[in-house]
Amino acid sequence: MNLKLRPRRLRLTENMRAMVRETQLTVKDFVYPIFVVPGSNVRDEIKSMPDCYHLSVDRVVEIAKQIAALGIPSVEVFGLPEYKDEIGSSAWDMNSPVQRAITAIKREVPELIIVGDVCLCQYTSHGHCGCLVDHYVDNDRTLELLSKVAVSQAEAGADIIAPSDMMDGRIAAIRAALDARHFINVSIMSYAVKYASGFYGPFRDAADSAPQFGDRRQYQMDPANVREALKEVALDLDEGADIIMVKPAMAYLDVVSKVRAEIDRPVAVYNVSGEYAMVKAAAANGWIDERRIVMETLTCMKRAGADVIITYHALDAARWLKD
Ligand code: PBG
């Protein structure tokens, strides 16, 4: 037997493995999502998302400081409003928890990159991501509302606007609305490739955003499709998206890899609530090693081509990266 090449030679020690490692996960890859709620002095753990909290605006700055102290560059702000209506008007109310939280974080922790999630489902009484005509989400009318939300978040201090609604044409509409208000340096991170996924279950509990009837398959993508993903990406780039996101992450890394190969702008991936909940539940039962599984999955997201990883594991992963 003459084995000229023995791949095992380069796996002999940790130093050797580290030297030839192809992918380096770093804390700078992370965005940490938070949930802001009405009221004061609220810090309630979200049942289906252990170690994640509903925070009132007055408790948001302390977590923002913690995020920054760990070296995590960015926070994504989700919110629950004080009131809901047919068109989701609390989504662009400057007194809503999201806008107030963005302003507070910008004031107290200015170096943190603030991502504002733009959608209507947390704000509409029916829980759909746009306004309804009969039982149909009206695409073009929704664009006007999303543009108002984007402008209100930019006004509050958001650095990046991240529309997650999956209406057609929203990147162009939001870009035009931001530019008209002179927010030319506010970026858009498009949830360009967002699948209609069962993995959002815990988030919908956390954000009280489950649709009251039907589902989101008329606007979010069919999990069976990948050519369509590239079409969505091409449209959003053409409309002016600065960063392209694929969501969810774990079961969709083939999509991340294809998108990465196709485009020259940064790719983000969203490690969603259901993925997080599965890991936390199995770890709590002692069935898996949480730290090992988290670091492995986040590294694999980067290996697949993600430049940015939005993850509820960010605080833990940042600590583990320091050890
Ligand atoms: C709002 C939105 C959702 C998520 C992010 N923004 C839920 C949905 O589309 O139903 C999911 C995030 C997660 O599951 O962690 N449209």
221 CB less than 6 Å from ligand 1?
Answer: no
Q: What percent of the chain has pLDDT over 70?
A: 100
CA–CA distances in Å: residue 273 to residues 14, 276, 277, 303 = 32, 5, 6, 21
pLDDT of 205 over the 90 cut: no
Q: Which of 46, 77, 167, 209 best tests ligand 1's pocket when mutated (most atoms within 8 Å of CB)? A: 209
- What are 277's two structure tokens? 């909940």
272 CB less than 6 Å from ligand 1?
Answer: yes
Asked, for residue 2, whether it belongs to a domain, the answer is no
68 CB less than 6 Å from ligand 1?
Answer: no
| Distance from the alpha carbon of residue 296 to the mean position of ligand 1, in angstroms | 23
pLDDT grade, residue 21 (50/70/90)? very high
Give me the CATH number covering residue 214: 3.20.20.70
Q: Residue 234: name the closest of 213, 264, 207, 277 by CA.
A: 264
164 CB less than 6 Å from ligand 1?
Answer: yes
200 CB less than 6 Å from ligand 1?
Answer: yes
* Arithmetic mean of pLDDT, 6-25: 97
Q: What percent of the chain has pLDDT over 90?
A: 97
| Distance from the alpha carbon of residue 217 to the mean position of ligand 1, in angstroms | 13
| Distance from the alpha carbon of residue 203 to the mean position of ligand 1, in angstroms | 6
Which of the residues are catalytic? 194, 247
| pLDDT score recorded for residue 297 | 98
Asked, for residue 198, whether it belongs to a domain, the answer is yes
**Looking at ligand 1, which residue's alpha carbon is closest to its atom 5?**
164
DSSP 265: S
189 CB less than 6 Å from ligand 1?
Answer: no
Q: Residue 97: name the closest of 36, 15, 172 by CA.
A: 36
Asked, for residue 1, whether it belongs to a domain, the answer is no
Q: Do the Cβ atoms of 121 and 129 come closer than 8 Å? A: yes
pLDDT of 13 over the 90 cut: yes
Buried b (16+ CB within 10 A) or exposed e, 249-263: bbebbebbbbbbeeb
Range of the domain at 239: 24-322
Asked, for residue 49, whether it belongs to a domain, the answer is yes
Q: Angle at the Cα of 110 (from 244 to 59), degrees rounded to 5?
A: 95
| Distance from the alpha carbon of residue 119 to the mean position of ligand 1, in angstroms | 9
149 CB less than 6 Å from ligand 1?
Answer: no
Q: Which of 98, 194, 200 best tests ligand 1's pocket when mutated (most atoms within 8 Å of CB)? A: 200
Model confidence over 220-250: pLDDT tens digits? 999 999 999 999 999 999 999 999 999 999 9
DSSP 135-170: TEE-HHHHHHHHHHHHHHHHHHT-SEEEE-S--TTH
| pLDDT score recorded for residue 144 | 98
Model confidence over 276-318: pLDDT tens digits? 999 999 999 999 999 999 999 999 999 999 999 999 999 999 9
Over the chain, what is the mean pLDDT? Answer: 97
Please give the tally of structural domains in the chain. Answer: 1
Q: How many CB atoms lie within 10 A of CB 239?
A: 19
| pLDDT score recorded for residue 168 | 97
Model confidence over 68-92: pLDDT tens digits? 999 999 999 999 999 999 999 999 9
pTM, to two decimals: 0.97
